[in-house]
A and B are shown apart, each in its own frame.
Chain A
Amino acid sequence: KNEVEQSPQNLTAQEGEFITINCSYSVGISALHWLQQHPGGGIVSLFMLSSGKKKHGRLIATINIQEKHSSLHITASHPRDSAVYICAVPSKGGSQGNLIFGKGTKLSVKP
């Protein structure tokens, strides 16, 4: 079974700061997901990546397959970025939807 570790668990930032959230996993994967969940809400898929780097607006995700590590960066953070960010990878030998989720990083951006 793949294990997923996220850090930090909680993060408080001032508006405008650069944010980094880290994710490490234990077993080889075909793709890694970064997800966002606002309080009481559904989940939004931010990125799915299997190599290199992806960028969408102020969000950047990177992955190092050899080191089994991924990072999610938020540039010029804003209070609306406050949410739980979750890293997820397919369970070893499992389907793409059979995900192992990290425990999430709760981000709070203060104005």
Chain B
Amino acid sequence: DTEVTQTPKHLVMGMTNKKSLKCEQHMGHRAMYWYKQKAKKPPELMFVYSYEKLSINESVPSRFSPECPNSSLLNLHLHALQPEDSALYLCASSQEFTLPGELFFGEGSRLTVL
């Protein structure tokens, strides 16, 4: 199994809603990542989890709250988002945080904030 699965594929939410994005991998990877991608732009790193601990938070606003319940699962909790947060949210994983290794990306969750 060489897949990173993201759900939901599409999400529309209001600014007062609370929702979550989910990412799952069963490759035994110990590093997992959240990226945000705006249209026609490259992805931007948001968070890095290594061995289920938050290693990097790229100054992301607190309305985005990551969670890593176990080594296979990474969530991104969303609360009080703004319309400018509308984007494609990509999850990725790799074998290790610090060693060179292939990155496996999910298909992304397309978020629209009304």
Contact = CB atoms under 8 A, between A and B. Distances in A.
A97 B108 contact: no
B9 to A, nearest CB: 10
A104 B104 CA distance: 18
Nearest to A42: B107
A88 B100 CA distance: 13
B102 A98 contact: no
B42 A97 contact: no
B55 A96 contact: no
Interface residues of A, number: 23
Interface stretch (B13-21, B62-70, B71-79, B89-97): B89-97
Contact of B104 (A45, A96, A103): A45
A95 to B, nearest CB: 5
Interface in A39-93: 40-45, 48, 50, 86, 88
Nearest to B47: A97
Given A31-B100, A42-B90, A103-B42, A98 B56 contact: yes
Contact of A96 (B42, B43, B88, B101): B101
A96 B90 contact: no
B48 A44 contact: no
A30 interface: yes
Given A43-B43, A95-B55, A48 B105 contact: no
A96 B108 contact: no
B114 interface: no
B23 to A, nearest CB: 11
Contacts of B50: 95
Nearest to A6: B42
A19 to B, nearest CB: 20
| Residue among B31, B42, B106 having the largest count of chain A Cβ atoms under 10 Å | B42
Contacts of A88: 42
A62 to B, nearest CB: 17
B60 interface: no
A101 interface: yes
A97 B100 contact: no
